[in-house]
Structure 1
Amino acid sequence: MLLLLFVFLLLLLLLLLLLLLLLACAALRLASANPAKDQQQQQQQQQQQKSSYLLPIATPAASSSERMQQQQQQQQMQQQQQQIQQQQQQMQQQQQQMQQQQMQQQQMQQQQMQQQQQMQQQQQMQQQQQMQQQQQMQQQQMQQQQQMQQQQQMQQQQQMQQQQQQMQQQQQQMQQQQHETCF
């Protein structure tokens, strides 16, 4: 995008240079045309002076035509200046649009960065929750295993005690039997 903006600005500068060249050419043409007009005016004045006694009414018409030409030239120059101003305004508007686009792009980038940060935070939270759940599950399994071991030990102890009791009873019975046989 920056390259495109740079190329666009270069093109605009080139257009401005071309316009300036055209204006310079037009000014040169006008300047080159003015001496010829001056010569024509001098010749006309000389002819008017020579023929003033013959045609005294021709002078107002010639002066009015010169005035018309001067007015037309001034109007053309004003129009050219107005065109230049309009072009400058257009350039300024284009620059403002470009700046607005840059601002929008920056805002979009900031929004994307914020979204990425939020996604990362959510992922971290999920990972932490998963780790905690896994730890809890492992602890529960360990507790269950311990409980099972304790129950097994208790059962074994009970069995041993029962066996001992049975042995004791058997011994007592044997002793009683021996005692009875002796009597």
Structure 2
Amino acid sequence: MAAGVIDRTDLIRAAQTGDPAAIAGLLAACQTDARRYAWRHCQASDIDDAVQESLLVVVRKVRGLKAAAAFSSWLFTVIKRECLKLQRAMFRHEPLDDDVAERQLASRTDGALRLDLTHALESLPAHYLEVVLLRDFEELTIAEIAGRLGEPAGAIKSRLHRARTLVREYLLGGDATIAPP
């Protein structure tokens, strides 16, 4: 097991020198971890883009990494940043007032609204979806969710608010400008 750590450290150091084979090997070695981390922090439709953009950042900036031991945490930071960038780009629009939003949602059939809501929920990052499902579908209280997830109630409230805001923005995103995942 220690040999695997040494091999990866050596691979990172070799990639820092610009060795093309080492860079390719490093990208192959970290791709699974990158996808797993992106799965947790990105919307399902953004995972591939976030991983690809993150790996491009690795290629461009691995030389500037000061310590090979910091590679994994640096990679996760890059992925999280890419996920946030993609998320902000997806929901960039002018907010609607409540009357306009209500009319827009009321104009849809029940079936269409159910389908749109399903797509909106599927587009949420896992940590947002979990809180919405526990609160709105299992009807747990904030305190019960906080206890189950082992997190402070304030963090749960904040995450629930952000998740609901994302769902609302998705549903009101306009005339199919946001494609379902």
State the TM-score, normalizing by the size of structure 1.
0.25
Q: Quick check: which has more Rg, 1 or 2?
A: 1
Determine which structure has the larger helix proportion and give its number.
1
